[in-house]
Amino acid sequence: MVNRVTVLGSLNVDNIMQVKRLPLPGETMTMSAKKIAGGGKGANQAIAAARSGAQTAFIGKVGADEQGRLMKGYLEDAKIDATSVTLATEETGQAFILLQENGENSILVLGGANQAITDDDIEAAKEKITTADFLITQFETPIEASITAFKYAKENDVVTILNPAPAKRVPEALLKNVDLIVLNETETELLTGIKIDAEESWYQAAAKLAKMGVKNTIITLGSKGAYYKTTTAEGFIKAFKVATLDTTAAGDTFLGALSSQLDKALSNIEEAIVFASMASALAVQKFGAIPSIPQLNEVNDALGEANF
């Protein structure tokens, strides 16, 4: 059974600047290299889902510019239905990534066309939502549009997955329609007020999220792994140990790959997390966002070699 995944999200052209470390205030530094690549949390997640075998559709906006044509091309190359990616008067979104030698990154985002998505766009793409198995969104597009999309999804038995990134508070109108939340340590602390610094804090945060109405949670813990808590299962999956070159899109690859493998009841969540963890491990071994996202056969081959 092939999962049908629809992503409401951002499309950004990434400007990747390789630096030894982050500059200090007032300091001028030279870059060792500069690259251009496709990205945006929404695009990354959709391409990860598609490359992992999901039938994927995208809802978003680009500008009438070369960057917009580039981003639509990335989606179409991944065999993603991009008919609900429409033109905005604003320029295509861009991200400026300071990539350090240790593989860590700091990112500045110019929303551009991503911020022009309205309820009218959601209405026009309603069929893409209601016929999906999973609907995914993040916070690089207007929350109001996500609220409308998740409402349509819940009315049609579509499983909703929220990635509250970049980190910000989630309005009740959206939270009440979230089936599964996937968030990192920073996002978890902002949303729950609980600092994720020890194993006990995972349990406390998941319990707090359940009280807030989200009963299924995955907290990604970087190089340590991922903790999950659903209505029927709980556990921790260790991360695969690899040499990290670039963490850009690691979390997005995890989420997109996860959505391609999950069943709608979340009954196979442990197996799906193992798959997603391997996809993410492969991604961090390459530079860039979209260029680093692995194909299904690469993930399966790596899992086979890891004896999973």
Task: Examine the pLDDT at 137 and tell me if it is beyond 70.
Answer: yes
Beta-carbon contacts of 179 under 8 Å, excluding residues fewer than 6 positions away, are: 159, 160, 161, 214, 216
Tens of pLDDT, residue by residue over 190-224, are 999 999 999 999 999 999 999 999 999 999 999 99
Measured between alpha carbons, how far is 127 from 141 in angstroms, rounded to an integer?
Answer: 19
Residue 60 among known ligand-binding residues: no
Provide, rounded to the nearest whole percent, the portion of the chain with pLDDT above 70: 99
Task: Examine the pLDDT at 2 and tell me if it is beyond 60.
Answer: yes
Q: CA angle, corner 222, sides to 200 and 261, nearest 5?
A: 95
Task: Examine the pLDDT at 294 and tell me if it is beyond 70.
Answer: yes
Residue 223 among known ligand-binding residues: yes
- 98 - beta bridge partners? 17, 106
Residue 304 among known ligand-binding residues: no
Written as six digits, the tokens of 24 are 């200090």
Q: Where are the domains of the chain?
A: 4-10+39-90+113-305
Reading phi first (left if > 0) and then psi (alpha if -120 to 50, else beta), residue 83 is in alpha
The one catalytic residue in 121, 133, 179, 252 is 252
Residue 52 among known ligand-binding residues: no
Residue 13 among known ligand-binding residues: yes
Is 157 designated active site? no
pTM of the model: 0.93
Tens of pLDDT, residue by residue over 222-249, are 999 999 999 999 999 999 999 998 888 8
Pick the CATH number of 4-10+39-90+113-305 from 3.50.4.10, 3.40.50.1000, 3.40.1190.20, 3.20.20.70: 3.40.1190.20
Which strand (E) or helix (H) includes residue 181? strand 180-184
Task: Examine the pLDDT at 304 and tell me if it is beyond 70.
Answer: yes
Neighbours of 119 (CB within 10 A): 13
